[in-house]
Structure 1
Amino acid sequence: MNYTGLYNPFKLNRPLSDDDIKYQLRQDFSGLGASGAVALDDTVVIKMNSTYLELVDKYYSNRGMFEFFTIVMFSSFFLTPVSVICLLFSNPMSRPDDLIELFLLIIAIILPLIMARWFLGFLRKSFFTWTHYPVRLNRKTQMVHIFKVGGTILSVPWNDVFFTRGRAGYGSMPEWSIDGHILADDGKTVIDTFSLGFSSTRRELVKNWAFVRSYMEVDDCLEDLADIIVLCPPVAEKRENYLFGLQYMMRIESRIMWFITALMFPLHLLGSITRFVVMRTCKIPRWSEEVEADCVVDANDPINVSAANNPRHIWRYMLANQPLDEYNALYDRQINAVERLRAKVQAAKNQRAE
């Protein structure tokens, strides 16, 4: 999972890197991702209407599981020196006899406490913060509104953002995200950065970017995008409930993964309990009056995608257990929408090239 920006801050006040430029995602239809609009539903859309598209953050997906392992590590390191100290007071025979034993004893107490402090830093950025950090893209005013990790709100014109693919890790399978850089007046220095709600492979993100760019740049595409979205996290102005959190953590795309899901269920269960506690300690993000004024939705807007439109049996969709006829109908709906969208993107691309 790409946690850059949450547990480790973005690198700011720096020039654009070679990778930033190499993997740039352009708002127009040139460069990476220009060859078609394969838009995927990645269960990150909170709301979509004719005015704005609102997404969860890239950290939302794995809330709970990371915190569970962090609590385990923190408890292990914290309890180690506590146990040593208790042993010293309860058993005089265990006390050090020389300077070497005293030195080793001090190390055995201090090092675990340092590690416990390190893991505590992660927990402080998860508990008692916000349930999620949404990004709202306004199609009509061409503005991007970002609810930042610190709780502040940043608003910037869509075309002023330098979008690129950011990498977390340098192994054989690094995790990538769609990062938006805010540049200084020189057009080269990064002064702020945010991420859209996608974390995936480098190639897959191009498809996710196609979805966002189509919403902001392509005329007459909203119905097609609406047909692609299947499930929206129910976090608009409220907290998700426990059952949704568990199902969201267990979601799969194919029945082939049922066996792995069954093996992972104990971990998912523990992670879902932690996720529930995390969400209950966190505040619900609220947009400012200025953002709400910029994002007024028409009362008779025909496009109204939200959690209210989620499948009736969410668990069937999450566990790839839909009846065959229902699955085929959904698949045909999405494929047809993507094909229509491809044609509209190509038309928009040709029009701008003239």
Structure 2
Amino acid sequence: MEYTGLIRKYPINRFLTDQERERQLRRGERLDVEPAYQLSMIRMSSTYVELVDKFFEWKGFLTAFAIVVAVMFVAGISAMGVSSIIDGSIHEFWPHLVGMFLVLVVPILFVAQWMFRKDAFTYTHYPIRLNRKTRMVHVFRVDGTVLSVPWGDVFFCIGSLPQSNYEIQGHVLDTDGKTVRETFSFCDIAGSWKESESLKHYWEFVRRYMEDVDLGPIHVHARYVLPIANKRESFMQGWDRSLSMFGALPFPLKLGLLAIYVVTYPGRWIAMTTSKLPVWPEEVEATCLIEPGDPYVRDARDNPVGLR
């Protein structure tokens, strides 16, 4: 799980680093890798493709963690209070209970509430829309506003994150061409420097969609579309999406993580149920009209029955 951009902000008002320049992903440069969309596509046409954000996959973890922590500490203090009442020591022990509540529980509840509100009562996801006709990139920010920037003005690179993670980042630069004013990212995450080379597969999916004349090969790659366009995922769809992360893991590790998911998945349901659907501004939608008979339209209606 990686929350840069949601819990912690991307560093901005800074110069591009040497590493970012070295690992730049250049527009117009075809890489010899197979494109991969990483189950991130919400819908596609010859006008635009809409992709899900990186937080979508583990949405609900913060909610579950916040609830579990809050319940544990409140229950612990309550248990001590009840115990002191039963054994008759409440008159001696209550100052300690109040002190522990104020010093320990209140700050923890404050942090838990802050984490909860970062995940629940927000948006179900934060999509990125790439319009190949207008050559624009539209990013739905976590505060509900929208960043719209020309495709040719974004500096793309494989950027580093805390805990030695890597992702594809798009930097919006100042007029000097070297000062970062805003950063957004795509959904794919790599857990090491070596694994970060695999991010180029996702980049090629994005780049070829925006730059290739023939959309046929890209259209064929995208076989499954997330059924979340203009609606929330169902409980089972969210469960299936969560399980998809475990596909290539060794069985013992998969089993351990599955046990964690059984405990935390209700948090995803709460976060999704309480959050709003993202809505693009009218001016963005006006430039994203799909022509009748577009042969490259793909949405959840093309999914197998039960995944729509």
Which 10-residue stretch deviates more, 83-92 or 42-51? Answer: 83-92
Superimposed CA distance per residue, residues 310-343 of structure 1 (whole angstroms, 9 cap, x where no aligned partner) = 234659xxxxxxxxxxxxxxxxxxxxxxxxxxxx
8 A Cα contact 2:227 2:307, kept in partner: no
The reply to whether residue 111 of structure 1 matches residue 111 of structure 2 is no
Gaps of 5+ in 2: none
Deviations 1:22-43 (A, max 9, x none): 32222231xxxx5314211311
Aligned CA distance change for structure 1 residues 119 and 23 (closer, same or farther; 3 Å) = farther
Tell me how far 1:3 sits from its aligned partner: 1.1
State the alpha-carbon separation in 2 of the partners of residues 38 and 274 from structure 1. 35
Alpha-carbon deviation of 1:21?
Answer: 2.1
Paired residues of 2:300 and 2:307 also in contact (CA < 8 A):
no
Instruction: Provide the identity percentage.
Output: 35
User: What SS class does the counterpart of residue 25 from structure 1 fall into?
Assistant: coil
What is the rounded CA distance, in whole Å, between the counterparts of 1:253 and 1:130 in structure 2?
25
Letter of the structure 2 residue corresponding to residue 14 of structure 1? R
Q: What secondary structure, in the 3-state scheme, does the structure 2 residue paired with 1:205 have? A: helix
**Aligned-residue offset at 1:265:** 3.8
CA distance in 1, matches of 2:102, 2:64: 24
| RMSD between superposed Cα atoms in Å | 2.8
Query: Contact 1:246–1:269 at 8 Å: present in 2 too?
Result: no
Q: Are positions 1:244 and 2:222 aligned together?
A: no
Secondary structure of residue in 2 paired with 1:123:
helix
Question: What SS does the aligned partner of 1:61 have?
Answer: coil
Q: Which runs of 5+ in 1 are unaligned?
A: 316-354
Residues 167-316 of structure 1 mapped to structure 2, 5 A cutoff: 167-170=160-163, 174-200=164-190, 201-220=195-214, 222-251=215-244, 254=247, 260-312=253-305
**What is aligned with 2:124?**
131
Letter in 2 for 1:5: G
Whole-Å separation in 2 of the counterparts to 1:85 and 1:104 = 7
| Partner residue of 1:42 out of 38, 42, 56 | 38
TM-score normalised by structure 2 residue count: 0.87
The reply on whether 1:93 has 2:89 as its aligned counterpart is yes
Mapped partners of 2:253, 2:83: distance in 1:
43
TM-score, normalised with respect to structure 1: 0.77
Higher helix share: 1
Q: Trace 1:159-170 onto structure 2 (pairs within 5 A).
A: 159-170=152-163
Partner SS for 2:37? coil
Q: Which residue of 2 aligns with 1:23?
A: 23
Give the distance between the partners of 2:245 and 2:84, measured in 1 at CA: 50
- CA distance in 2 between counterparts of 1:125 and 1:104 reads 30
Letter in 2 for 1:28: G
Q: Hey, what's the Cα distance between the residues in 2 that align with 1:64 and 1:295?
A: 31
